[in-house]
């Protein structure tokens, strides 16, 4: 079985490092991490569609 794609592994590693740093400074009893990608093209032009929307 292959590992994660490099970009996904990097994102995961970055999240884990940030969580570990925060946990060293604050008494955490739980944490929720939400990961979302913003579609800047759609935000700038909500009407974009079809071939123009690449």
Query: For the segment 11-33, what is each residue's pLDDT rounded down to a tens digit?
Result: 889 989 999 999 999 998 988 88
d(Cα 46, Cα 15) in Å, to the nearest integer?
Answer: 30
Q: Give residue 30's Cα distance to chain centre.
A: 19
Structural domains counted in the chain: 1
Does residue 10 have a pLDDT over 90? Answer: yes
pLDDT band, residue 2 (cuts 50/70/90): low
Q: Indicate the pTM of the whole model.
A: 0.56
Residue 45 lies in a domain: yes
Domain interval for residue 18: 6-52
Whether residue 1 is contained in a domain is answered as: no
């Amino acid at each position: 079985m292959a590992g994660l794609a490099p970009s996904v592994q990097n994102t995961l590693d970055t999240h884990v490092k940030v969580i570990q740093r925060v946990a060293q400074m604050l008494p955490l009893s739980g944490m929720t991490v939400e990961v979302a990608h913003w579609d800047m093209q759609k935000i700038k032009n909500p009407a974009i569609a079809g071939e123009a929307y690449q």
